[in-house]
Amino acid sequence: ENRPIPEPGPNEVLLRMHSVGICGSDVHYWQHGRIGDFVVKDPMVLGHEASGTVVKVGSGVTHLKPGDRVAIEPGVPREVDEFCKTGRYNLSPTIFFCATPPDDGNLCRYYKHSASYCYKLPDNVTFEEGALIEPLSVGIHACKRAGVTLGSKVFVSGSGPIGLVNVIVAKMMGAAAVVVTDLSASRLQKAKEVGADFTIQVKNETPKEVASKVESVLGCMPEITVECTGVQACIQTGIYATRSGGTLVLVGLGPEMVTVPIVNAAVREVDIRGIFRYCNTWPVAIALLASKRINIKPLVTHRFPLEKALEAFETTKRGEGVKVMLKCDPTDQSP
């Protein structure tokens, strides 16, 4: 609250922040101070699912002006390296990323960001939808990496926010049937609401038993599995469940070392792919939202003003609802 309002550089914009979603990684940094090799060593601002209004533009910025409503892509490469040249800038080792140590996030009143990674929102796309483009982008990137296409049978493991966006995107890309697994009945109900064809509540079954249930409800083994939990047993299930010659995409991040039936995957030519965040997804997401081809509004279940950020984080930590959204602009009276 007491930080000075930053001044944008030549290729930056200053934003008055509006909506910022809370991600599981934000909670993890808050509770544990690290994720893998990324360690919080100094005080750090959280938040990377965000939208806001441009209040000032740098001298070199021509595509935005004060008053423009924008969605913010949080990952900005610091230099044009080989990954940027091939269009996979998310893999650049030089990347700045909001709320990944030591880079500050954007859960604040005012924030400056690279103008090239701020995308103007059409009038019919809300600030909240703009903030949700970040998790939606994970689904777009994962489903692209998985090769989802017309008629695909897809298994999504996990029905948290990322599992749900993968359901939405897979259906949009032409999946004929999507089955979702989770421990929580309420989360599976939300998966149904956003388009899942089948849901399976996992209790104490073995990975092979869950895989068998997936095959049973689909009527066949899925060509594509999108694993969104990072849990060892779920990764094992993903391998067993995926049809020979199919693709397993690992989205959820768990322990660094996991035991998996790798020979089963190898001899059946199951391709295992990872994803790291996303790239080139904001224009796609904005086009889908503006055309009303997808609806991500049901993902937001809780809203708090910035003054109640701690309460919002506690709500997310308890696993209540799906997506908790913070409103940073006290002058805004929109619902």
pLDDT at 330: 75
Over residues 182-203, the mean pLDDT reads 97
Write the CATH number for 143.
3.40.50.720
Which amino acid is residue 137, in one-letter code? S
Kindly list the distances between the CA atom of residue 65 and the CA atoms of 54, 76, 106, in Å, as whole numbers in the listed order: 7, 20, 20
Q: Which two tokens stand for residue 158?
A: 């996990």
The answer to whether residues 179 and 303 belong to one domain is no
| Predicted confidence band of residue 1 (pLDDT cuts 50, 70, 90) | low
Domain count, the chain: 2
Write the CATH number for 51.
3.90.180.10
3-class state of residue 256 by DSSP: coil
Which residues face 179 on adjacent strands? 155, 198
pLDDT at 2: 65
pLDDT at 36: 83
Report if residue 54 sits inside a domain.
yes
Report if residue 84 sits inside a domain.
yes
Are 107 and 134 in contact by the 8 Å Cβ rule? The answer is no
Are 324 and 301 in contact by the 8 Å Cβ rule? The answer is yes
| Predicted confidence band of residue 4 (pLDDT cuts 50, 70, 90) | confident
pLDDT at 332: 72
3-class state of residue 267 by DSSP: helix
The answer to whether residues 252 and 307 belong to one domain is no
The answer to whether residues 88 and 172 belong to one domain is no
Report if residue 260 sits inside a domain.
yes
Mean pLDDT score across all residues of the chain: 96
The answer to whether residues 207 and 95 belong to one domain is no
Alpha-carbon distance 147 to 141, whole Å?
10
Over residues 91-102, the mean pLDDT reads 96
Closest CA to 329 of 67, 15, 6, 5: 15
pLDDT at 96: 97
Instruction: For 14-40, write each residue's pLDDT tens digit.
Output: 999 999 999 999 999 999 999 988 999
User: 238 Cβ partners below 8 Å, 6+ apart?
Assistant: 155, 157, 225, 227, 248, 250
Q: Which domain holds residue 254?
A: 139-274
The answer to whether residues 153 and 270 belong to one domain is yes
Q: With 70 as the cut, is the pLDDT of residue 335 above it?
A: no
Report if residue 62 sits inside a domain.
yes
Instruction: For 104-138, write each residue's pLDDT tens digit.
Output: 999 999 999 999 999 999 999 999 999 999 999 99
pLDDT at 333: 59
Report strand pairing: 198-201 vs 224-227: unpaired
pLDDT at 334: 58
Which residues face 153 on adjacent strands? 177
Alpha-carbon distance 58 to 65, whole Å?
10
| Predicted confidence band of residue 193 (pLDDT cuts 50, 70, 90) | very high
Report if residue 251 sits inside a domain.
yes
Tell me which of 142-151, 308-317, 323-332 is least confident: 323-332
